[in-house]
Structure formats: C-alpha cells, structure tokens
Chains A and B, each alone.
Chain A
C-alpha cells in the first residue's frame, strides 16, 4: 500500500512557543487515521501544515508525495480540508454557497459529487436560507458538504462533528465511511473517542505537541488493561493485592485495574472470596477503553 500522507519529525512554532514538537506518522492510501489529543495538543496545527497553510519550522511533510506548500497548485484540486473554524459569506444562501464551491471545483478540473450535497447533509429545507441564519450545527453540516463535494483524494476533517446533534453525527459517520470505502484517504481529529473507535483504521494520541501512543484501535486499547470491580465487601480490609497492586476504593466499590486480560486476576479474586466466604456482589469485568488510554496519556504527562 502506498503512503498518502507522510509526516516526519514535524515541528511547528508560533513565535517562541513550540506547538508541535517532532511528530512522525503516516497515513496509507485509502486509510482513515484519527489524530486525537488534549486541547492545545497540536492537532489543528498539524492539519493546517498538511493542508499547506504554513511551512513547518522543522521536519518534513508530504501529501500524495508532494510538498503541500511548494506543490500547492498541483495538490489543491486533489485535497480538501474541513477546518475546525472557518467563516462563510453570510449573505449568500446555502444553495448559492454550495453552487460557488461546486463551480470552483469544476473550474479546477474536478468532477464534483453527482448527487446534491445539500441533500446529503440534510439541509434541503434550508437551501434558500442565508448562511448567517443557520444554527451552529447546520453550519457544520454545510462545512462538511463544501469539504467533500470535490470528491478529494485526501480529506482533512478537523473536528467535523463538534456541535452536531447525535443524528447529524450518525449521518456524518455514514458519509465518512462511504468516502473511505470509495478510497479517500482521511485524516480526522475528534474529541469523541467513540467516533475514532468506530471510524479509524489507526490512530495517534497527542499531548503537548508530541504523539504519546499510536497504532490500530485494538493495539492502542490493549495498552489499557481490563478492569474488575464489585460492591465493596464488609471485610474489605482483607482484600488482596492483585498483580502486586491494592484495589482502588471509591463510591462504595472496589476496583482492580489489571495489566492485559482479567482472566488470572479473576481467578485470584474468586479464590480469595471462597477462602473468606465473601460474596462478591455486582461483580463486573470491563475491557479497557480508548477513554482509559486517553485519560492515562493526559495524566501521565502531568
């Protein structure tokens, strides 16, 4: 598989503040890669460098094998970005806005989306409304329509579903999936980890300008062990340490975070319960989640 996006040792500074501090990753052709991370981690900065908004202050980036700044002219028709924040010409209607963008794509030699992008993002009833009158979530949907209507080979989506209601979010996921199935390479950022879990082939979690962990969703989640928890028994002072760690106790429950699988830990726990004739009420085993990994990454750095 060929590489569509290649980032090597990327650094980006604003004045003397270094927002991105040497990150390396690649996205293969037709893959959906999610860039996750805390606020201010440098996700938007990275995306904007890839989209050719600014030259990196260090390292190198390639999109479809080209330098996004130097080869801007060649790259422009082949890629598209849905910015985290961007304005519209407020006095144009939704339909006029889409028409302007569709026209520009055609002028640039693209064969734009055949269907109606306004229908696709379910804004049909707002087609004749001025853009400045749209709600936040509706604007976000229009944003999505503009980003995809040129059917780009590489698509950058910077928090596409922020501000969308659950239904619009589902719709967006469907659209993103179908683009991916059609072979579009997609780089996505989101704070909805469920979104990344559902859509991403691979992901990276950033914090303060550095990638802390990366891999497939399964690989990343696997770094966080399962969790065993149960209602705190009366004789809890006798609870054993499992894998050399004492239970954490909160809200009337005891919990063990285990490395890897819960299988062995469960056996140890049940043996202990048998020995002391304790009934482990409301016993639960929960696999590790992306949330766990994310929170760990954010905490570890402090």
Chain B
C-alpha cells in the first residue's frame, strides 16, 4: 500500500511535468474549459450560480478527456506495457493518473473560487462537500477515462470516442439552470449523471444544502465509482497487441 502511494505520487509528478511540456494538452485542460465558462457567463444573470457549478465541467476536460487521451496514447506507444512490467502495480498506475488530474483540478477550482470572489463577491462557507465532491468526481472521471481508452483504437480517435459523453454531459448538466427549473425528463437524466452531483456538492459549499440532499449526491457518485470500476475491468487494455 505504501509503495503504491509513493509510486502514484511519483507518477503524478511526472504527469504534471509532461503536461507542462505538451502545449496542446495544456490548452485543452487549462484554456478550453475557461472559454466555455466565459460563454456561459454571458448567458446568465447569476454569475455565482454558474461559476460555483463550473468545477463539474472542468472535470470533463481535466480528468475525462485528458486522461482518455493519455491512456490511449500510452497504450498504443507501449508505455503502459512498460509501466506494467516495472515496479508499479495497476493501482499505482491508475492512482498516479488520477492524482495528476486531481492536482490540476484543485488548482483550477482555487482559481475559480478567486474569480467568483472577484466577479460576484461570493465566497464558499463550507469546504467539506466541495472536497468530497471533488475527490469522488476525479475518481469517477479518471476511471471512466480508463474504460473509454479501452474502446478507443488510437490517440487520434481519443478526440472522437468521448464525444457522445461530452455532449450529453454538457447539455444535461445544471450549469446555467438549476435542476428544479429543468423539464422533468431532463431533470431525471441530469440527476443520474456523474457531473451533476459534483456541481451540486460544489454549490453546497456556497449555498449550503441539507444533509439528506448531500447524501444523495455522495451516494450517486459512489454508485458511479462502482460502475466505472466495473467498466474499467471490462474494457481497459494495457497492450495494443492483446485484443
């Protein structure tokens, strides 16, 4: 366990170093989600509401899309094969990828908190639901990314295969409109998606929420952790040669 943790930290630090050297990935992870956020801000009269939900959208880019790409490229280039034959366990390799994404995500959320304060004068009052939502959110999306890499045949296709997920998540996420103002059918869909509980837990940090509500969101995320771990077991591949 201790070895795994040490390895994961080492791999995460390497990932961050590599992210700094890869300008395309850096743009996709850092700039693109901010552009989306800016667009949404133009459409709303309640900037705190939009900005406080933004971390959910960030996760799609920082954890999901970025890691689908990383996992796929590394598998095809036989880097995963090398890692797996080395000292690290599978848990450490996944953990490292997740931890790297978490570091970027934390940086982005802090940036958002500062921006929200500047732009709308609001500050979060309760960090606990934000931390829980963030951690579980990164775990879910990192696992989903690993599973998706398994059905993505090449690094080029990594822009394409996650598209359906991206569209559904972006469309149904309660970013500009609160859940209870959505059409009933959309609201049901939105509530079961993994972005929604992350956004709502982040917002709970600003607006507060009942323990009951928050437990439902945490339970939804835990459910997604289980589902995505199962998907990883089914679809993830270490080696392009083995189909």
List residues of chain B with CB within 8 A of the CB of A80. 86
Q: Which residue of A lies closest to B81 (CB)?
A: A86
Tell me, yes or no, whether A105 is within 8 Å of chain B by CB.
yes
Query: Which residues of the partner chain A approach B87 to less than 8 Å between Cβ atoms?
Result: 76-77, 101, 104-105, 107-108, 110, 150
B220 interface residue, CB < 8 Å from A? no
What per-residue 1/0 map shows which CB atoms of A1-39 lie under 8 Å from chain B? Answer: 000000000000010000000000000000000000000
Contacts A104-B10, A107-B10 given; indicate if A91 touches B85 (C-beta within 8 A): no
Question: Is A206 an interface position by the 8 A CB rule?
Answer: no
Q: Which of A51, A92, A103, A105 contacts B85 (CB 8 A)?
A: A51
CA distance A104 to B18 in the complex (A): 17
Flag whether A87 is at the interface (Cβ < 8 A).
yes
Quick check: B10 and A103 within 8 Å, CB to CB? Answer: yes
Judge if A100 is at the interface, Cβ distance under 8 Å.
Answer: yes
Q: Which residues of A contact B84 (CB under 8 A)?
A: 53
A85 within 8 A of B: yes
Stretch among B71-79, B108-116, B120-128, B170-178 lining the A interface: B71-79
Contacts of A285 in B (CB 8 A): none
Contact-residue bracket for chain A: 20 to 34
Q: Which residues of A contact B159 (CB under 8 A)?
A: none
Q: Is B6 interfacial (CB-CB < 8 Å)?
A: yes
User: Does any Cβ of A come within 8 Å of B7's Cβ?
Assistant: yes
Distance to closest chain A CB from B237 (angstroms)? 12
The answer on a CB contact under 8 Å between A107 and B7 is yes
* Residues on the A chain within 8 Å of B10, using CB: 100, 103-104, 107
Interface residue ranges of A30-81 to B (CB < 8 Å)? 51, 53-54, 72-73, 76-77, 80-81
Bound Cα distance A162, B230 (Å): 40
- Number of residues from B at the complex interface, CB < 8 A: 23
Is residue A264 within 8 Å, beta carbon to beta carbon, of the partner chain?
no
| B14 is an interface residue with CB less than 8 A from chain A | yes
A104 touches B82 (CB 8 A): no
Check if A81 sits within 8 Å of B89, measured CB to CB. no
Q: Is the CB of B78 within 8 A of A86?
A: yes
Is B117 in the interface zone, CB < 8 Å from A? no
Interface of B, helix, strand, loop or mixed by DSSP: helix
A91 touches B18 (CB 8 A): yes
Assembly CA distance A146 to B82 (angstroms):
10
Q: Does B22 contact A (CB under 8 A)?
A: yes
Instruction: Select one of B22, B82, B89 contacting A86, CB under 8 A.
Output: B82
Q: Say which residue of A73, A89, A109 sits within 8 Å of B89 (CB atoms).
A: A73
Interface string of B160-184 (1 = CB under 8 A from A): 0000000000000000000000000
Alpha-carbon distance A72/B84, docked complex (angstroms)? 11
Which residues of B have CB within 8 Å of A101?
Answer: 86-87
Q: Which residues between 57 and 105 of chain B lie within 8 Å of chain A, taking CB atoms? A: 74, 77-79, 81-82, 84-89
Q: How far is the CB of B182 from chain A (nearest CB, A)?
A: 43
Interfacial residues of chain B within 223-243, with CB under 8 A of chain A in the complex: 239, 242
A92-B86 CB under 8 A given contacts A87-B78, A104-B7 = no
B12-23: CB near A (< 8 Å → 1, else 0) gives 001001100110
Contact, CB under 8 Å: A86 / B3 = no
A108 pairs with B22, CB closer than 8 A: no
A81–B86 CA distance with the chains assembled, in angstroms? 8
Residue from A89, A104, A105 within 8 A of B79 (CB atoms): A89
Chain A neighbourhood of B88, CB < 8 A: 104
| Neighbour of A87 across the interface among B14, B18, B82, CB < 8 A | B82
**Is A179's CB within 8 Å of the partner chain B?**
no
Residues of B within 8 A of A276 (CB): none
B7 and A87 contact, CB distance less than 8 A: no
Residue of B nearest to A81 (CB): B85
Which 5 A-B pairs give the minimum distances between C-beta atoms?
A87-B77, A107-B6, A87-B78, A86-B82, A87-B79
A86-B79, A89-B79, A107-B3 are known contacts; what are 20 more A-B pairs with Cβ within 8 Å? A53-B85, A76-B87, A80-B86, A83-B78, A86-B85, A87-B74, A87-B77, A87-B78, A88-B79, A88-B82, A89-B18, A91-B18, A92-B14, A96-B17, A100-B10, A107-B7, A108-B3, A108-B7, A108-B87, A110-B87
